[in-house]
Chains A and B, each alone.
Chain A
Amino acid sequence: MADISANFLGIKSPNPFWLASAPPTDKKINVLRAFEAGWGGVVWKTLGSQVKNVSSRYSALHYNGSKVMGFNNIELISDRPLELNLREIKECIKLFPDRAMIVSLMADNTREKWHELIAQVEDTGAHGLELNFGCPHGMTERGMGAVVGQDPEIARLVVEWVMEKATIPVITKLTPNVHSVVPTGKAAVEAGTNALSLINTIQSVTGIDLDTFVPNPYVAGKSVFGGYCGPAVKPIALKMLATISQDPVTSKVPVSGIGGVSTWKDAAEFMLLGATTVQVCTAAMKHGFRIVEDMCEGLNNWMDEKGFRTINDFIGRSVPHLTQWEELDINYHIVANIDQEKCIHCGLCYIACEDGSHQSIGLQYGNPYNTYTIKEEECVGCNLCMLICPVDNCITMVEQRKGPDYVNWKEYQARGLPLNDH
């Protein structure tokens, strides 16, 4: 049995699955239920200035019958009294001392306010702090949240204030609403943050009511940009995480990965790209805390299969596999192959290739079943047919190298080999 426990800057948790700063972590009753269900840690919902929420607050993107592929919110930071939050945090730590308790913070933009808040939170016995530099709505108008994270110099200043005071580990949470997360990440690391977490939510409009013409979520005839998360943002989050793991400055600190993590597989992917722990919100909001059971068991079984004893055996392992386009081997060539035994004659590969790719699939009419075959000389090995085929392993990509040696773009050009030759 593998050991799935995590040690994040000395903050220990029995597994790497934390609940992200959000409604599931905003009060004792939720957090105790989460710990009972088995979550390794929580990031308590952001504490800071006084706010007032609106109704409604959420909207979602559904796709082909699948509900909540993407999730959007316009909720603010915690709207409960600070004293109550602090008291409950203390109680939760006492009841579950083996779990990670991180508290998310977003103070008014002065050194004094940050210091005051940090002192109050540290008094609870919390294990770490997470700086919310990412909330994309509501707080930005007041000079907080994403406006801090979007300007590396402001972020640097605030992190410096925090580090003057904090005695427990500090995680800076990055906003994805920038062209690159690296500059702010770098500034935060240079200012002394102990760790990074990413991504916060992405500004979005999830949809528009085609009867009222009002975008959602609907608030008395109006809407605002919200923060987008859930499975739909995972690929974007993974890319941003990878850039942090590749950068020589930001890769020095541990990272907590966030963005659409719903299963142990998602978690493993974030960890392979450098995350030490992952944070989950949408999946727990959709299904409840019980999803952590399979996350633990699935990760454990996978680690056993792969021979990993601890999570450190694979954290960051996929980072070296990401390179620059110009380093890719041009001589590597694959072509599609259709297993006629498995083919169900749906024609999806044919029409996708015909209309959307390289017209590399031949069609022989039949009644009612057509036969589809690959024109190998036309196939560029793009994967499209394999991706849309509804049958597992019916279409496979077979390696047919163009040459034995590794030739990248730079070398290819240097040798004067033919271009635009397809």
Chain B
Amino acid sequence: MPIKNNRLTAEQYEQNFSDIHPPFDSRESALVEANRCLFCYDAPCTKSCPTSINIPKFIKQITTDNVKGSAHTIFVSNIMGAGCSRVCPVEKLCEGACVFNLLEEPPIPIARLQRYSTEMAMEKKWQLFERKPATGKKVAIVGAGPAGLSCAHVLSREGIDVTVYEKESRGGGLMTYGIAAYKVTPRFCEDEVNYITSLGGIHIKYNQELGKDLTLAELKNNYDAVFLGFGVGLARQLDIPGEELGGVVDAIKFIYDIRAGAYQQVPVGDRVAVIGMGMTAIDAATQAKRLGAKDVTLVYRRTQEEMPCTEAELDLAKLDGCRVIWLAAPAMLKGEHGKVTQLVCSLMQLGEPDTSGRRYPVATGEQFILEVDMVIKAAGQIPFSELVTASQLENTYGKVVVQTNGATNIAGVFAGGDCVNGGKEVVDAVQAGKIGAGAILEYLF
């Protein structure tokens, strides 16, 4: 059976894409966990959160029935605290640092508790922030993703009028378009964007792409400052023969289609190979399986030691029935009638450590063949080099170069998030937005 859509019943799709981390059913169940929290001093969980959410405080506030205060504690540090509670790789951040791990006890389910407070805030539409009187200053932000929205929220609170230019027709960035649907639904992302902008003073202009519909020079002329948070977008190519064959797709495009439309409309193969072992690779592999693919194989050129995804993510893929082949690098794609049929892989072995400190894989000379009808490329994303260069931004391989406060080489232009770091977590982008906003405020006043 070739690549096709509509493989499952509506119920099966519903079940396969339902919430993977269901929320607490009740106040009582949240309290059982919240009451376990020791309320650590100078807490390791907070120190392990890129946005430094005061976690012991927000959990304590749940136990005192001050959920409004709890949500405020979260949002004041991380305005995307609701989304982060679903997508953060908490096992390597807050929950990974929870002192209960040192007692060999399950850590406090921080993400789930964070979800409890933030979702209640969103549902009840609590207005937890108030804008200061208008300053008359205006700032343009490029990209309505986590970095841009986080920056926008801080600035608007300080009385600045913010205009956000977004190339897609919806906000949220990779949160909306690049993360597995069983973690956050498109509907949730929309609600979250609306909740953030309900503060006022943030105007998002959709379908406005930098370099196409507007230029950095125009923004600089029309606004008092500019924040760039346009992320990364282009999938890294494999640069191997046969890459142009039918059935060879980008993970980002694949995930985007799942999130932008209806599940049954997204085609998937019988035998799918996913190249890479990052979070995006996992999201692509598990979702291919959940769309009805028979066999899904993750192909990674290094070993489990070096994989970028977390153990929890790997377990997720394994539980979904995905196969993993370590030390295998794609060498060639073969096809029939213009459609991919085989993935030829080189068997690798680990050599000396590279610049990332991880041992670099080198070919052994042996090869093996994987019968496939679909190949999803998730070998990383590359920055918008052309756009960055054309905008005269100092950069390294397309990644915008900034100072610690987010300032670029152009006065009044700041940047943060994936377009600077090349692609990290949502929570890192939120923090970059906050830092950029702080620098803009200093620049303006």
Q: A64-B63, A368-B47 are in contact. Are A346 and B35 (CB under 8 A)?
A: no
CB of A403 within 8 Å of the partner chain: no
> What chain A residues lie within 8 Å of B23 (beta carbons)?
none
Contact A345 B44 (CB under 8 A): yes
Contact B35 A390 (CB under 8 A): no
Nearest-CB distance from B212 to chain A (Å)?
43
Contact A367 B31 (CB under 8 A): no
> What chain B residues lie within 8 Å of A344 (beta carbons)?
99-100, 102-103
> What chain B residues lie within 8 Å of A365 (beta carbons)?
42
Contact B41 A351 (CB under 8 A): yes
CB of B32 within 8 Å of the partner chain: yes
Contact A345 B63 (CB under 8 A): no
> What chain B residues lie within 8 Å of A367 (beta carbons)?
47
Assembly CA distance A65 to B103 (angstroms): 21
* Partner of A347 from B35, B40, B63, B102 at Cβ < 8 Å: B40
Chain B interface secondary structure, helix, strand, loop or mixed? helix
Interface residues of B in 10-43 (CB under 8 A from A): 31-32, 34-35, 38-43
Interface residues of A in 339-362 (CB under 8 A from B): 344-348, 350-351
Assembly CA distance A367 to B97 (angstroms): 10
Interface residues of B in 32-65 (CB under 8 A from A): 32, 34-35, 38-45, 47-48, 63
> What chain A residues lie within 8 Å of B63 (beta carbons)?
64-65
CB of A391 within 8 Å of the partner chain: yes
* Partner of B103 from A64, A350, A391 at Cβ < 8 Å: A391
Assembly CA distance A351 to B100 (angstroms): 19
Contact B41 A350 (CB under 8 A): yes
Assembly CA distance A308 to B197 (angstroms): 72
Contact A345 B102 (CB under 8 A): yes
Q: A367-B47, A368-B48 are in contact. Are A348 and B38 (CB under 8 A)?
A: yes
Q: A346-B99, A391-B103 are in contact. Are A370 and B42 (CB under 8 A)?
A: yes
Contact A348 B40 (CB under 8 A): yes
Assembly CA distance A64 to B32 (angstroms): 9
Nearest-CB distance from B373 to chain A (Å)?
46
> What chain B residues lie within 8 Å of A406 (beta carbons)?
none
Assembly CA distance A363 to B40 (angstroms): 14
* Partner of A346 from B32, B41, B47, B48 at Cβ < 8 Å: B41
A interface size (C-beta, 8 A): 17
As a 0/1 sequence over residues 235 to 264 of chain A, the CB contacts with chain B under 8 angstroms (1 = contact) are 000000000000000000000000000000
CB of A369 within 8 Å of the partner chain: yes
Contact A347 B42 (CB under 8 A): yes
Contact A346 B38 (CB under 8 A): yes
Contact B43 A347 (CB under 8 A): yes
Nearest-CB distance from A364 to chain B (Å)?
11
Assembly CA distance A345 to B102 (angstroms): 9
Nearest-CB distance from B90 to chain A (Å)?
13
> What chain B residues lie within 8 Å of A348 (beta carbons)?
38-41
> What chain B residues lie within 8 Å of A345 (beta carbons)?
40, 44, 99, 102
Assembly CA distance A346 to B42 (angstroms): 8
Contact B41 A64 (CB under 8 A): no
Assembly CA distance A64 to B39 (angstroms): 12
> What chain A residues lie within 8 Å of B34 (beta carbons)?
65
Q: A344-B102, A344-B103, A370-B42 are in contact. Are A65 and B48 (CB under 8 A)?
A: no
Q: Which residue of B lies closest to A389 (CB)?
A: B38
> What chain B residues lie within 8 Å of A351 (beta carbons)?
41
> What chain A residues lie within 8 Å of B32 (beta carbons)?
65
* Partner of B31 from A65, A363, A369, A391 at Cβ < 8 Å: A65
Nearest-CB distance from A69 to chain B (Å)?
13
* Partner of A390 from B38, B44, B47, B48 at Cβ < 8 Å: B38
> What chain A residues lie within 8 Å of B100 (beta carbons)?
344
Nearest-CB distance from B97 to chain A (Å)?
4
Assembly CA distance A345 to B99 (angstroms): 7
> What chain A residues lie within 8 Å of B45 (beta carbons)?
368
Assembly CA distance A344 to B41 (angstroms): 12
Q: Which residue of A lies closest to B40 (CB)?
A: A346
> What chain B residues lie within 8 Å of A391 (beta carbons)?
103
Q: A64-B63, A65-B63 are in contact. Are A369 and B44 (CB under 8 A)?
A: yes
Q: Which residue of A lies closest to B99 (CB)?
A: A344
Q: Which residue of A lies closest to B47 (CB)?
A: A368
Contact B41 A368 (CB under 8 A): no
> What chain A residues lie within 8 Å of B35 (beta carbons)?
64-65
Assembly CA distance A367 to B41 (angstroms): 13
Contact A347 B41 (CB under 8 A): yes
Assembly CA distance A391 to B32 (angstroms): 19
Assembly CA distance A134 to B32 (angstroms): 37
Assembly CA distance A96 to B102 (angstroms): 53
Nearest-CB distance from B99 to chain A (Å)?
4
Interface residues of A in 356-396 (CB under 8 A from B): 363, 365, 367-370, 390-391
Contact B103 A368 (CB under 8 A): no
Other A-B pairs beyond A368-B45, A369-B97, 13, CB < 8 Å: A64-B35, A65-B32, A65-B34, A344-B99, A344-B100, A345-B99, A346-B40, A347-B41, A347-B42, A348-B38, A348-B39, A365-B42, A390-B38
| The 5 nearest A-B residue pairs measured at CB | A347-B41, A65-B35, A368-B44, A351-B41, A344-B99
Interface CB pairs A-B, < 8 A, 14 = A64-B63, A65-B31, A65-B32, A65-B34, A345-B102, A346-B43, A347-B40, A347-B42, A350-B42, A363-B42, A365-B42, A367-B47, A369-B97, A391-B103
A residues with CB within 8 A of B: 64-65, 344-348, 350-351, 363, 365, 367-370, 390-391
